[in-house]
Amino acid sequence: MTIRSGERQPLACTPSRVLLTGGRAPVTLDLARMLHRFGHRVYIAESMERHLCRGSVVVEQCALVPSPRHQTTAYLSALEACVKRWQIDLFIPMCEEIFYVAQGAEQLRQHCRVLISSPEQLHALHHKYDFIQLAKSMGLSVPDTYLIQNSQEQLEIQHVLNKSGEWVWKPVYSRFAAKVRMPIQHAPPGEELISRGSPWVAQRYIHGRGLCTYSVVHEGKLVAHAAYESKFRTGDVGASVFFEQVQHDGAYQWVKQFVQKAAFSGQIGFDFIEESDGRVYAIECNPRATSGIHLFHPGDGLVRALLEPESLLNEKKEITPQSGDKAMLALPMLGSGIRQANSRSNLRSWMTAWYGARDVVYTRQDKRPFFAQIAVVLAAWRIARAQRITLTEALTHDIEWNGEQQ
């Protein structure tokens, strides 16, 4: 039985105290609002001083914690202190800090429930080559993918690739399509960028439309699921900024088989390419919260899926958004609109999307996060300037995980 997100669900359980990380992320803000609407008390642990959830009326308290990437031990100690001080019932890591949280999950589980998979499984799913190999071993459709760990391997593989179609180059650890080299650029990464510590993959380029999924899974079984097409992005191959629910059985069945065979639990997202014949190929996995959260209406069944997955499974219910539901990140969506202005048909498509979608950051009852976006971007800009990295990289520089040995 499928429960559409537009159908109001009864209160999932006794009001709980829920701790979320990633207060800078729109998905965290959106989920915080859903939890608050259901009567739960929401707390935020964030290593960036300025973030979207700071000042939100739905958040009880925020804690500024050390960087999970640069001060892992101190970060985990701070999380444990937050869990104990606020008497947290459920802890949900939301962004890439999940890889660091996993290292201390057993200690945290002494105090509360933690929605997270094992470090080994998270790492395998995050690694762009290991994930492809795992899915391939399950008999699921994925594009041909080669691992490249040094300049010699690059020369050998590139000789083969030059004779066999188009290829995409990308680091095995990356996010938001950062550093991706598309076929049209005709240039693989320089030899100085590739090493055993910073490997890349060459992945066969598949012509088709991009699809993304987001799922909540409990012990290998889907509890909630959403899918959307990647129409408008930050840049040509960046993160999606517009989300419209689509019903896609091929992607759904792929995800269902994968999480079952992997015995996964937690939040997980996949990026797919759909060929003209309808067949889908998974190209990447994000074993954490993704923007598919935005397709669920605040206060609807997604909260129950996260807090009471067992009860939904016992009732044989699965939460999914209504077909055609739309959401967007308004400020980056405006930037996307500027890029569409050179084509009348593209601009018309953008305008249709804009007028039919809700902004996931702005609400009349909770306006401060919308204006906080400016402070977040300014803080990231200062980091980008100091570190000589891109603005996108600056937004995750203190939380990202790139396969560092623990």
Q: Kind of pairing, strands 242-244 and 167-171?
A: unpaired
pLDDT in tens, 231-283: 888 766 678 899 999 999 999 999 999 999 999 999 999 999 999 888 999 99
- Sequence ranges of the domains in the chain: 16-116+367-406, 118-141+208-366, 144-204
The residue-averaged pLDDT of 385-392 equals 86
Q: Please, what is the end-to-end C-alpha distance for the chain in angstroms?
A: 42
Lowest mean pLDDT among 80-89, 123-132, 327-336: 327-336
The residue-averaged pLDDT of 172-200 equals 72
State the Cα–Cα distance between residues 221 and 331, nearest whole angstrom. Answer: 36
Considering the domain delimited by 118-141+208-366, tell me its CATH architecture: 2-Layer Sandwich (3.30)
pLDDT in tens, 293-321: 999 986 568 999 999 999 999 999 999 99
Q: Are 325 and 295 in contact (CB under 8 A)?
A: yes
pLDDT in tens, 147-176: 998 878 887 787 777 767 788 888 898 876
Edge-first strand order for the sheet with 280-286 is 2-4, 318-320, 221-229, 209-218, 266-274, 280-286
25 backbone φψ class: left, alpha, beta (φ>0; ψ -120 to 50): beta
Helices marked H in 341-367: 344-355
Which class is 16-116+367-406 in CATH? alpha beta
Q: Are 254 and 282 in contact (CB under 8 A)?
A: yes
Closest of 235, 282, 285, 242 to residue 393, by C-alpha: 235
Tokens for 65, please give them.
């914690």
Tell which wins on pLDDT, 159 or 370. Answer: 370
State the Cα–Cα distance between residues 45 and 92, nearest whole angstrom. Answer: 10
Per-residue pLDDT for 8 more than 80? no
The alpha carbon of 15 is separated from its chain's Cα centroid by a whole number of angstroms, namely: 26
